[in-house]
Amino acid sequence: MFNSRQRDIIPQAISAVKVTTIGCGSIGSNATLIMARIGVEHFELFDQDVVSIENVCPTTFTPSQVGVPKVEALAEQLKVYGAKVRVHKTMYGSQPVKTDVVIVGVDNMEARQQIWTQHKIDWKLWLDGRIGRDQASVFAVVKDGNLIPYLSSLQWETAPLPCGMKATAFICGGIVSGMMGTAVARWLNGLDVPAEMYFQGFTPETPFFSVSKLG
């Protein structure tokens, strides 16, 4: 009953959804935990890193989890909500995976390109989160939908950022995870899912938010 206040928005079918997260850091940990909080019960996690002290602010991890493999730390948090979790202490390669939702939370374009071109994942909804300083984007692709916006985005060049601008707590913990949760809720309700949702917080007057043409 922990999610009873959202039951008229989130279909009960979400309990049967499986989420596969590739990269369990700033984007992946927050977005994945949101999925558990809206009712997802089945998860598969891929990440080769351990929690470091600088990860604590922008992720869901606590100081007591420093030194723990990220997939194990995130699995511990997911199980609080009764989730069933399978972990891999390695980055996704090209192994077969059957899932419903893919969350890509890696931190560079080369890794995103490699995952997309080499994956052997049977998926239904693909979500790719990107962050930097005050900005966030979520690209969404529905199986058999329009791939062009996402494929085009994989060719973009991104400027390197100083370490202190790579992951902001309110961007990771609220904006990106909220956009991904919205995409899943729309998908489950049979609504169109935006091809891209974009946010920029430090504009001169008010925060800027845009939603692309639906894919």
Give Cβ neighbours of residue 89 (< 8 Å, ≥ 6 apart): 47, 48, 69, 71, 72
Share of the chain above pLDDT 70, in %: 94
Q: Which two tokens stand for residue 103?
A: 């969350």
CB atoms within 10 A of CB 138: 29
* Model pLDDT for residues 103-159, shown as the tens digit of each residue: 999 989 999 999 999 999 999 999 999 998 899 999 999 998 989 999 999 987 665
Q: Where are the domains of the chain?
A: 13-211
Residue that the structure tokens 């996690």 belong to: 45
Instruction: Flag whether pLDDT at 162 surpasses 80.
Output: no
Per-residue burial over 56-85, b = 16 or more CB atoms within 10 Å of its CB, e = otherwise? bebbbbeeebeebbbbbbbbebbeebebeb
To the nearest whole number, what is the mean pLDDT of the chain?
92
Closest CA to 77 of 17, 128, 29, 28: 29
> What's the whole-model pTM score?
0.94
Instruction: Flag whether pLDDT at 20 surpasses 60.
Output: yes
Domain 13-211 carries which CATH code? 3.40.50.720
Instruction: Flag whether pLDDT at 211 surpasses 80.
Output: yes
